[in-house]
Amino acid sequence: MWIHYSQPKGEIPDYTAPVVLHDQSPSIEDFCCKLHKQLILQFKYAWVWGSSVRHQPQKCGREHVLCDEDVVQIVKKI
């Protein structure tokens, strides 16, 4: 079980409502699908904070594998 947090743009991360993923190596695509099935169709990139990235934050694609307790901010296409 992997716990991740979402962060709305311009706000602090929402630690009260974690997104729980049960995959062995959850990706950002899995994170998007857990939030809403259609979100991946609008996905442009994601900002990630946590142990899965070198820089805080780091711009990542849908294939990026998340670590436990990463914070993710999804950026959608216009």
Domain boundaries, the chain: 2-76
3-state secondary structure of 65: strand
Name the strands in the sheet holding 43-49, side by side, starting at the edge strand that comes first in the sequence.
19-21, 2-6, 71-76, 43-49, 58-60
* Mean pLDDT, the chain cut into blocks of 10 residues (78 residues total): 86 89 91 93 96 96 95 93
3-state secondary structure of 53: coil
* The predicted structure's pLDDT at residue 78: 81
Closest CA to 20 of 68, 57, 54: 68
- Tell me, which fold does domain 2-76 have in CATH? Ubiquitin-like (UB roll) (3.10.20)
